[in-house]
Amino acid sequence: MSTTIWYLETTDPDELRPGRDPGGHVALVHAEILSVELSRFLYSEVGRDYQWVDRGSWGIDEWRARTEDPRVETWVLYERGTPAGYVELEGQDAGDVEIVYFGLLPGFLGRGLGGHMLTEALRRAWSMGERPAGHEATRRVWLHTCSLDGEHALANYRARGLRLYRETTEP
pTM of this prediction? Answer: 0.95
pLDDT in tens, 87-135: 999 999 999 999 999 999 999 998 989 999 999 999 999 999 887 666 7
Q: What does the domain layout of the chain look like in residue ranges?
A: 3-170
Has domain 3-170 been given CATH number 3.40.630.30?
A: yes
Q: How many CB atoms lie within 10 A of CB 169?
A: 10
Q: What pLDDT digit, counting tens, does each position of 72-92 carry?
A: 999 999 999 999 999 999 999
For 50-92, the DSSP string reads: GT--TTTT--HHHHHHHHH-TTEEEEEEEETTEEEEEEEEEE-
